[in-house]
A and B are shown apart, each in its own frame.
Chain A
């Protein structure tokens, strides 16, 4: 019962943050509500017994990635976005279609999925077990992700560097940024 209460509270916080992300017009408010979503998702992971995933969620997602987002928003001085005018067809078909689809999916999941309850901590996802899996069964994908991250770093540096900054004929070669 207590688990259900904790799940409901943080699930509601999570959904409220997601809806707030859609409603807010300034990107910095959207970014902060996304932090709320990620933090409450970490609690849901802890409820499922996934300690490692919860820690990585807080450190990588709510920490590193969101800092990157906020940094870019402030760097580009992003302002309030314009509202779209909206289309009548989307209002006419989209909202009823979305309601029907979501009610159908929720009904099927809740009534006919035949899934049992998830016991809290039934599957201890401690860092030790996850690390053993990562370095034995998933060693090759793990190494491939390191190559992927390396390529991503190089791509980000190339894309974000100033276009004229790597040319050797710039006026002050000592002070140029690379």
Chain B
């Protein structure tokens, strides 16, 4: 028996690590991986709450979050490739114009 709050604390730690990576990292791919880390933290709290309240729809929502994450990573990595093709860099400090 593991208390629900332990799962929530773990989820919060993961989300905080994701936010920190999003803020301090300079490589655009690593920033993208930090976003995935945040989504994983949210998924864990979804599943924990689903088990707590006996509502299976929480797990269905995790499924939807995963679908959105997959679509997001496909489009995002394509954008990264397009940015690299025009800028020749992956450093976000040097990608400071929206215009390609």
Chain A residues proximal to chain B, CB less than 8 Å: 3-4, 7, 11, 14-15, 18-19, 21-22, 27, 30-31, 34, 37-38, 41, 44-45, 47-50, 52-53, 56-57, 60-61, 64-65, 68-69, 72-73, 75-76, 78, 81-84, 98, 102, 105-106, 109-110, 113, 115-120, 122-123, 125, 129-130, 133-134, 137-138, 141, 145, 148-149, 151-153, 155-160, 163
Asked if A27 contacts B30 (CB within 8 A), the reply is yes
Residues of A within 8 A of B74 (CB): 68, 152-153, 155-156
CA distance in complex: A95, B91 (Å)? 25
Asked if A69 contacts B73 (CB within 8 A), the reply is yes
Min Cβ gap A92→B in Å is 16
Residues of A within 8 A of B48 (CB): 48, 118
Residues of A within 8 A of B52 (CB): 115-116, 118
Asked if B33 contacts A30 (CB within 8 A), the reply is yes
Asked if B90 contacts A110 (CB within 8 A), the reply is no
Asked if B82 contacts A160 (CB within 8 A), the reply is yes
Asked if B37 contacts A118 (CB within 8 A), the reply is no
Asked if A61 contacts B51 (CB within 8 A), the reply is no
CA distance in complex: A129, B27 (Å)? 41
Contact among A18, A44, A64, A134 with B70 in the assembled complex (CB-CB below 8 Å): A64
Cβ of B47 under 8 Å from chain A: yes
Asked if B47 contacts A115 (CB within 8 A), the reply is no
Contact A133-B70, Cβ < 8 Å, known A3-B1, A69-B33, A118-B7:
no
Contact among B5, B10, B59, B60 with A44 in the assembled complex (CB-CB below 8 Å): B10
**Which of B9, B59, B66, B70 gathers the greatest number of chain A CB atoms within 10 Å?**
B59
Taking A45-B47, A69-B32 as known contacts, 8 extra A-B pairs with beta carbons closer than 8 A to each other, sorted by chain A number, are A21-B33, A22-B25, A60-B66, A69-B77, A102-B12, A137-B60, A138-B64, A160-B78
Min Cβ gap A91→B in Å is 11
Residues of A within 8 A of B80 (CB): 72, 76
CA distance in complex: A81, B93 (Å)? 11
Asked if B69 contacts A65 (CB within 8 A), the reply is yes
Contact A38-B51, Cβ < 8 Å, known A69-B33, A76-B81, A148-B68:
no
Asked if A149 contacts B33 (CB within 8 A), the reply is no
Residues of A within 8 A of B8 (CB): 109, 113
Per-residue CB proximity of B47-63 to A under 8 Å, as 1/0?
Answer: 11011101011011011
Residues of B within 8 A of A119 (CB): 1
Contact A4-B1, Cβ < 8 Å, known A21-B33, A72-B77, A122-B54:
yes
